[in-house]
Structure 1
């Protein structure tokens, strides 16, 4: 899973570097790379039942493929940022995307569970290296005047992956087998790699914060509060999302053919939530939007639990709207939380946002692990309750933290 929220790497480019290559059109190759990473990361949840059957492992063990990926990403992102700080930026992008292509090929050819797990660890390290570097490269190339448009090249790739890449990947997996999806993503990665090599200009490394600076910022109570909330929020999301295919089959009797449309609806709702929460946070304050989104997510999780109690015949009218509310709220909440971090420490935003990325992946690892425990105990219908526990804890952490002095964060 690649719940990728790209962040600005701590770059301080000079004006000559920022205006090099003129047009931002060449960033389409970073868009493609982000699309490949986002598609691979999210669609694997829909492939877990087939993976478990083919590899002769239980569903919880298959879910650990997501847990391991997320944990390695959470730890690897800041470590890789420090270790690769001195590398020329295009070279780093080439190495990272090359590793991602190789990881997908190894996953497609994996003879067993251990080999697939190893391939996913390589994918995690590659994605953790590529996504921050891609955002930093785009920001430097765009310069102050075009930074927003440049960064949108990366976020657009992720958005398109969530809306279209994931449902398409699930359909490919259902039609041609789960290995075909990894082959397909490997092809996208190679295409992106070719474009990066031939179309992107070289870019000198910038100034990157060390691990000590990151840890010092995390000691701030307000920053730590936001990061903890994000861990809990994403944990709730991935408690259900990791096992969504088997959950909707068990609760509502929806077969595998219904998964792609459900994921499409979730992705569209998430895209809408991202856009609405950003503008709403500017108008009413990010903390208020986080509270509203937190309540909506909690209602969605409780609706999941209700649908499990209703039985398959009556569950669908409750479950499907709840999935849309869940997508809207969960993505909107994370977007508003990013705005809170920037508002709390504008000058340190690149560092806090990169730490936020690690918090998000730590949360996804926790959620996938929690879901595995629930399923291992034969309590599929209780996934909603487990997610609601995380959602309630996240909401309480916001309510008890209070607002900033301005009341806007």
Structure 2
């Protein structure tokens, strides 16, 4: 399994490095373009909205494409968009580059997930999806800290150029190593919307929106949080992200195992309860424990966040596959859109709160969204139980 899916995981690593490193390089971008950090944070919102809207539309437009060809095209465009971002002469040009990056990522990731899910036996789907998403968590361990360190020494443009080169390597790997796979039965936009309206699908993707809104309400500003609240230099921000990334890699593996073996709804409730406390702690710590003790507490929160937050994606994807594996290409693309819709909402709300108050206040934003997600999970469980009882 791993040999077949390796290049998909490396592609996820490239996409994750670009998408997640923005938090570490945001202060450098803001400085170069002479804009506030909160305004630079809109780069996350722009990317997320373009991904959320573009991913299902691209899926419809490319429904008849052979899967390997689609993966190669997506990662090729992603490479070119990174080079364009590296050369951006203005903030507006960089924002346009991030739109193109989002569209390419929105074509690649759902296709990679669906490819992985159909390449293994049903009882291995959680682990296959976790393996592909391990590229994202390894991006947290290696790609994001490396990008942050490169930005500190070579400038933020070097980080985009580096991801562009890696994406070209992935393009070659997919072309040489990944077997071609025929396109699944074509589904138009109307059919996709019909699937999205199914209550059981809405319950999953609605939860995804809320959870990711909470996460990106904070993650967008984590570099600025560490630098402004605790005076952490850029190099130590990179080390903090390595710590979070190692925990995220463990959490991703845990999520894949839990998705195949444990009660998924109970495990999700545990994840959300932990995240509510962890995110609230980020805003409370500067007042309760200023100085080194507060910084140590913030780093502990990052570890907990990585461990439990990265256990979430695989569980959600397997929940969607369990509804109807034949709808995988549709439901996984909808979930990908939900991820980035949530990211856009969280980044926008976080930017507003950071601008109106302080960067330290974004922890309350994350905690509020995760509390709403926990309530939503309980409500959807109750409705499902009522529907089952009525049908019985």
TM-based fold match above 0.5 = yes
In structure 2, the CA distance between the partners of 1:85 and 1:254, relative to structure 1 (3 Å rule), is: same
Report deviation, 1:192.
1.8
- Range 318-327 or range 66-75, more displaced: 318-327
SS of the aligned residue for 1:402 comes to helix
- Range 225-234 or range 341-350, more displaced: 341-350
Match of 1:77 among 33, 55, 58: 55
Match of 1:190 among 151, 165, 168: 168
SS of the aligned residue for 1:99 comes to helix
In structure 2, the CA distance between the partners of 1:146 and 1:289, relative to structure 1 (3 Å rule), is: closer
Q: Is the 8 A contact 1:287 1:337 kept in 2?
A: no
- Range 294-303 or range 352-361, more displaced: 352-361
Report deviation, 1:88.
3.0
Q: Is 2:366 the counterpart of 1:387? A: yes
Q: Is 2:334 the counterpart of 1:355? A: yes
In structure 2, the CA distance between the partners of 1:203 and 1:281, relative to structure 1 (3 Å rule), is: closer
Report deviation, 1:264.
1.3
C-alpha distance in structure 1 between counterparts of 2:131 and 2:320, whole Å? 22
- Range 36-45 or range 197-206, more displaced: 197-206
Aligned to 1:228: 206
CA offset digits 1:291-323 (Å, max 9, x no partner): 111110001012112212132343123212112
C-alpha distance in structure 2 between counterparts of 1:308 and 1:52, whole Å? 24
C-alpha distance in structure 2 between counterparts of 1:28 and 1:64, whole Å? 33
In structure 2, the CA distance between the partners of 1:296 and 1:126, relative to structure 1 (3 Å rule), is: same
Match of 1:257 among 226, 231, 235: 235
CA offset digits 1:355-384 (Å, max 9, x no partner): 111111100111111111012114222111
SS of the aligned residue for 1:85 comes to coil
Q: Is the 8 A contact 1:281 1:288 kept in 2?
A: no
**For 1:229-378, what aligned pairs fall within 5 Å after superposition?**
229-310=207-288, 311-378=290-357
Q: Is the 8 A contact 1:276 1:332 kept in 2?
A: yes
Any runs of at least 4 consecutive aligned residues in structure 1 with deviations exceeding 6 A, and if so which? Answer: none
Report deviation, 1:80.
0.4
- TM-score, length-normalised on structure 2? 0.89
Report deviation, 1:391.
1.2
Report deviation, 1:138.
5.0
Q: Is the 8 A contact 1:38 1:161 kept in 2?
A: yes
C-alpha distance in structure 1 between counterparts of 2:336 and 2:159, whole Å? 25
- Range 266-275 or range 241-250, more displaced: 266-275
Q: Is the 8 A contact 1:247 1:381 kept in 2?
A: yes
- Across the two proteins, how many residue pairs are aligned to each other? 384
Unaligned runs of 5+ in 2: none
Q: Is the 8 A contact 1:251 1:315 kept in 2?
A: no
Aligned to 1:204: 182
CA offset digits 1:16-63 (Å, max 9, x no partner): xxxxxxx98465443332221111111111100000010122212211
Unaligned runs of 5+ in 1: 1-22
C-alpha distance in structure 2 between counterparts of 1:51 and 1:332, whole Å? 31
Match of 1:181 among 159, 163, 171: 159
Match of 1:216 among 166, 184, 194: 194
CA offset digits 1:242-276 (Å, max 9, x no partner): 00011122223322221112111211222222222
C-alpha distance in structure 2 between counterparts of 1:136 and 1:383, whole Å? 34
In structure 2, the CA distance between the partners of 1:326 and 1:177, relative to structure 1 (3 Å rule), is: same
C-alpha distance in structure 2 between counterparts of 1:134 and 1:342, whole Å? 14
| Aligned Cα root-mean-square deviation (Å) | 2.6
